[in-house]
């Protein structure tokens, strides 16, 4: 999986996964050991209200200060120095498409030969030869599958006899301005940025198991300003998209209906909210709306709150379904729908998704257990930050394999002079 690598040939050990969101900036610090196991040592979270909008940085100075503060905090708490940062990008600035490419391996009637690594690179380059607008950055080119003489051979056509090799890929691009804003912020914090990758792809590394990746699963990351989606089939993405609504819209609804400030509405949503009415056990249970200014405190019920929240959350899931359905070509999935992000922690979210998508195979995306003393990362809101570390670990692993492969393929020096060298010395 290609990503925007900011620094090359770096085998950093202490990595910070940085999730820059509309409502919060989250950081997870992990240690990548020599055997490529990962230990999580600390997590941190800071509000980002006001300087991000729908996942896009709109105030560079405030974002830079927030990033610096949060990484400084995790360094002090963990007693370690962060050697590299990996961050994600998502939201409406992301676009994707599927593409195909084909290359000749050998001519008919001539000596057949097997597919090699260079052929695989050539066919991926061919599939990636689509015109990318100048205002877009190529983020990922991910192989979905290979075909040898028209036969599907899965992910590895290496050493198969072929006349023609074809490949299908998923191409993901990001707004050049959005990527530049992230890199500029990191440069000003003085923390080295190793990589920028798609948030939802990183998230799958933390919460999606192998069987789910093969059978076909949908990951829905419910953030504050956007809801990002990736569909994985046969261990490769076939669809990535973003809906420009998220948890902030639920807060806004409560604020407007109850005529209260957003800060109080957010508190009511987090502490007493539910998006599936049948889960509210006591229909008469009251909730206090705190007073503000000259206005005294008031009472509402959990049922009233649930009715407001349920309507908006249902709309969000219906928008996701409407967005991805035309892109899936009637495919059926045997995997899961996995919910991550801060919005997924709202009570009733699972039940609402089950109702909208008409399936019981819905679960919360909790990061897999890793080594280390820290367990606070095992919540859906930290799935992206943990996934960034795990995805970067795989990229470092692949880079090391390439280096070893190149060393083995280099011609060995015998120390003997060539005939031409001897003649040159003799006559000149």
pLDDT tens digits, 56-106: 888 889 999 999 999 999 999 888 899 999 999 999 899 999 999 999 998
Between the alpha carbon of residue 108 and those of residues 23, 112, 135, 162, the distances in Å are 59, 8, 42, 10
Please check whether residue 231 is in contact with residue 324, taking contact to mean a CB–CB distance below 8 angstroms: yes
Q: For the chain, which residues make up each domain, given as ranges?
A: 95-174
Question: What is the pLDDT, as a whole number, of residue 401?
Answer: 72
How far apart CA 123 and CA 332 sit, in angstroms, is 28
Q: List own/partner pairs for 150-154 with CB under 8 A and 24 or more apart.
A: 154/234
pLDDT category of residue 9 using cuts at 50, 70 and 90: very low
Is residue 406 exposed (0-12), middle (13-18) or buried (19+ Cβ within 10 Å)? Answer: exposed
Question: What is the pLDDT, as a whole number, of residue 242?
Answer: 94
Highest mean pLDDT among 19-33, 46-60, 389-403, 411-425: 19-33
Other C-beta atoms closer than 10 Å to the C-beta of 72 total 15
Query: Which tokens sit at 334?
Result: 């045997």
Question: What is the pLDDT, as a whole number, of residue 400?
Answer: 76
Flag whether pLDDT at 195 surpasses 70: yes
Quote the DSSP letter at residue 195.
E
Question: What is the pLDDT, as a whole number, of residue 213?
Answer: 94
Please check whether residue 51 is in contact with residue 23, taking contact to mean a CB–CB distance below 8 angstroms: no
Reported pTM: 0.89
Judged by DSSP in three states, 351 sits in helix
Flag whether pLDDT at 296 surpasses 80: yes
Round the CA-based radius of gyration of the chain to a whole number and report it. 25
How far, rounded to the nearest angstrom, does the alpha carbon of residue 120 sit from its chain's CA centroid?
A: 25
pLDDT category of residue 11 using cuts at 50, 70 and 90: very low
With a pLDDT cut of 70, the percent of the chain lying above it is 91
Question: What is the pLDDT, as a whole number, of residue 337?
Answer: 96
Owner of token pair 């003393």: 373
pLDDT category of residue 427 using cuts at 50, 70 and 90: very low
pLDDT tens by residue, 357-383: 999 999 999 998 887 766 889 999 999
Question: What is the pLDDT, as a whole number, of residue 4?
Answer: 59
* Rounded average pLDDT over 270-285: 90
Question: What is the pLDDT, as a whole number, of residue 77?
Answer: 87
How far apart CA 11 and CA 14 sit, in angstroms, is 10
Question: What is the pLDDT, as a whole number, of residue 110?
Answer: 72
Query: Which tokens sit at 366?
Result: 């909790």
pLDDT category of residue 412 using cuts at 50, 70 and 90: low
pLDDT tens by residue, 249-271: 999 999 999 999 999 999 999 99
Question: What is the pLDDT, as a whole number, of residue 10?
Answer: 45
Question: What is the pLDDT, as a whole number, of residue 52?
Answer: 81
* Rounded average pLDDT over 323-345: 90
Flag whether pLDDT at 274 surpasses 90: yes
Flag whether pLDDT at 7 surpasses 60: no
Residue 317: which residues within 8 A CB-CB, separation 6 or more? Answer: 220, 352, 353, 356, 357
What residues does 100 pair with on adjacent strands?
168
Question: What is the pLDDT, as a whole number, of residue 236?
Answer: 95
How far apart CA 251 and CA 258 sit, in angstroms, is 11
State the CATH architecture for 95-174.
Answer: 2-Layer Sandwich (3.30)
How far apart CA 82 and CA 69 sit, in angstroms, is 13
Is residue 294 exposed (0-12), middle (13-18) or buried (19+ Cβ within 10 Å)? Answer: exposed
Query: Which tokens sit at 161?
Result: 């006899």
Question: What is the pLDDT, as a whole number, of residue 428?
Answer: 47
Flag whether pLDDT at 121 surpasses 80: yes
With a pLDDT cut of 90, the percent of the chain lying above it is 68
Q: Of 220 and 395, which is predicted with more confidence? A: 220
Question: What is the pLDDT, as a whole number, of residue 332?
Answer: 81
* Rounded average pLDDT over 119-136: 93
């Amino acid at each position: 999986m290609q990503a925007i690598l900011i620094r090359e040939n770096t085998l950093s050990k202490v990595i910070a996964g940085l999730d820059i969101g509309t409502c919060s900036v989250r950081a997870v610090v992990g240690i990548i050991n020599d055997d490529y196991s990962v230990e999580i040592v600390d997590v941190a979270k800071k509000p980002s209200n006001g300087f991000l909008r729908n996942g896009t940085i709109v105030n560079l100075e405030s974002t830079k200060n927030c990033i610096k503060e949060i990484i400084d905090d995790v360094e002090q708490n963990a007693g370690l120095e962060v050697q590299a940062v990996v961050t994600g990008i998502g939201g409406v600035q992301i676009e994707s498409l599927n593409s195909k490419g084909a290359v000749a391996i050998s001519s008919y009637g001539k000596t057949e030969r097997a597919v090699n690594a260079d052929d695989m690179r050539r066919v991926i380059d061919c599939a990636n030869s689509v015109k990318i607008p100048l205002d877009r950055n190529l983020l990922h080119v991910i192989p979905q599958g290979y075909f040898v003489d028209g036969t599907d051979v899965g992910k590895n056509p290496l050493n198969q006899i072929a006349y023609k090799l074809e490949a299908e890929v998923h191409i993901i691009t990001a707004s050049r301005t959005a990527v530049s804003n992230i890199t500029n912020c990191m440069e000003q914090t003085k923390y080295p940025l190793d990589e920028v990758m798609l948030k939802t792809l990183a998230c799958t590394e933390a919460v999606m198991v192998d069987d789910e990746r093969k059978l076909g699963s949908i990951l829905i990351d419910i953030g504050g300003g956007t809801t990002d989606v990736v569909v994985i089939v046969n261990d490769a993405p076939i669809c990535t998209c973003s809906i420009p609504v998220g948890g902030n819209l639920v807060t806004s609804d409560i604020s407007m209906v109850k005529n209260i400030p957003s800060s109080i509405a957010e508190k009511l949503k987090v502490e007493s909210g539910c998006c599936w009415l049948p889960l509210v056990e006591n229909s008469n249970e009251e909730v206090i709306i705190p007073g503000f200014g000259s206005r005294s405190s008031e009472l509402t019920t959990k049922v009233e709150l649930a009715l407001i929240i349920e309507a908006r959350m249902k709309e969000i899931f219906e928008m996701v379904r409407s967005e991805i359905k035309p892109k899936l070509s009637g495919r059926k999935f045997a995997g899961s729908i996995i919910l991550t992000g801060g919005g997924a922690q709202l009570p009733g979210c699972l039940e609402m998704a089950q109702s909208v998508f008409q399936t019981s195979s819905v679960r919360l995306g909790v990061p897999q257990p890793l080594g280390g003393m820290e367990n606070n990362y095992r919540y859906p809101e930290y799935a992206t930050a943990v996934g960034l570390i795990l995805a970067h670990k795989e990229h470092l692993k692949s880079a090391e394999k390439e280096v070893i492969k190149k060393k083995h393929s280099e011609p060995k020096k015998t120390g003997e002079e060539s005939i031409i060298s001897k003649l040159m010395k003799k006559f000149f």
